[in-house]
């Protein structure tokens, strides 16, 4: 069961994640009786996002910035990252779906081998620091590619989690695992320094 007074911390949402959420909401309003096909809507959102200017994307970066601040405040109230990690390790179910990865994590997977090859003497912390520096230098186009990968993985996780929760609710004594794994989200979002702008029209 959850610790009293300590609700789970919801992960941060990326700028692209906020945009996709808006796309889904607008689509539901426009076609209330239509069964939403996740793959089809995701493709349309991705195409629209690539066509948007920086001005049109600003609002979503601002939303991500505010969400990152919310996340940091909740983490602090929880007792810090260490407290969260200890609690997750204590109740982790080996059969639970693998959590969704962030855009930065996908980027790190691609770039880490190169960094380690160039600096074999570096420790884990130094490699991580260099990856963070390189992430800040990534172009908008490349960053969007990783954001799309992260969104696809988030959808994969949500689908697997639905099946997982459906299975464990049929097994007596495992309801606490459903409670533990019922909250997920994107992690580590890099927010660019952007100015105020207008909201883009929905798909």
Domain annotation covers residue 172: yes
Give the integer Cα–Cα distance in Å for 66 and 58.
12
- What CATH number has the domain bearing residue 41? 1.10.30.10
Give the integer Cα–Cα distance in Å for 38 and 196.
30
The pTM for the full model equals 0.44
Residue 124 in 3-state DSSP?
helix
Domain annotation covers residue 110: yes
Domain annotation covers residue 89: yes
Domain annotation covers residue 190: no
Domain annotation covers residue 134: yes
- Whether pLDDT at 130 is above 80: yes
Whole-number pLDDT of residue 11: 82
Domain annotation covers residue 188: no
Q: Which residue has the tokens 């464990």?
A: 168
Domain annotation covers residue 42: yes
Task: Dump pLDDT digits (tens) for 100-128.
Answer: 999 999 999 999 999 999 999 998 888 89
User: ∠ CA(152), CA(156), CA(158), 5° rounding?
Assistant: 115
Whole-number pLDDT of residue 124: 86
Whole-number pLDDT of residue 95: 77
Domain annotation covers residue 4: no
DSSP labels, 133-196: HHHHH--HHHHHHHHHHHHHHHHHHHHHHHHHHHHHTTSTT-HHHHHHTS--------------
Domain total in the chain: 1
Task: Dump pLDDT digits (tens) for 9-48.
Answer: 778 889 998 998 898 888 888 887 777 666 777 888 888 9
Range of the domain at 62: 15-180
């Amino acid at each position: 069961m959850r610790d009293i007074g300590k609700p789970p911390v919801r992960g941060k949402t990326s700028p692209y994640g906020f945009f996709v959420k808006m796309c889904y909401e607008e689509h539901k309003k426009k076609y209330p009786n239509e069964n939403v096909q996740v793959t089809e809507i995701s493709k349309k959102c991705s195409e629209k996002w690539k066509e948007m200017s920086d001005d049109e994307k600003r609002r979503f970066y601002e939303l991500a910035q505010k969400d990152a601040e919310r996340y940091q405040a909740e983490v602090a109230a929880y007792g810090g990252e260490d407290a969260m990690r200890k609690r997750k390790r204590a109740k982790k179910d080996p059969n639970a779906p693998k959590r969704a990865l962030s855009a930065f994590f996908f980027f790190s997977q691609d770039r880490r081998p190169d960094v380690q090859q160039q600096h074999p003497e570096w420790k884990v912390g130094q490699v991580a620091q260099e990856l963070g520096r390189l992430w800040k230098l990534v172009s908008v186009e490349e960053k969007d590619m990783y954001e799309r990968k992260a969104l696809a993985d988030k959808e994969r996780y949500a689908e697997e989690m639905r099946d997982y929760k459906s299975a464990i609710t049929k097994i007596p004594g495992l309801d606490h695992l459903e409670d533990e794994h019922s909250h997920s989200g994107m992690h580590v979002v890099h927010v660019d320094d952007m100015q105020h702008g207008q909201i883009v029209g929905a798909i």
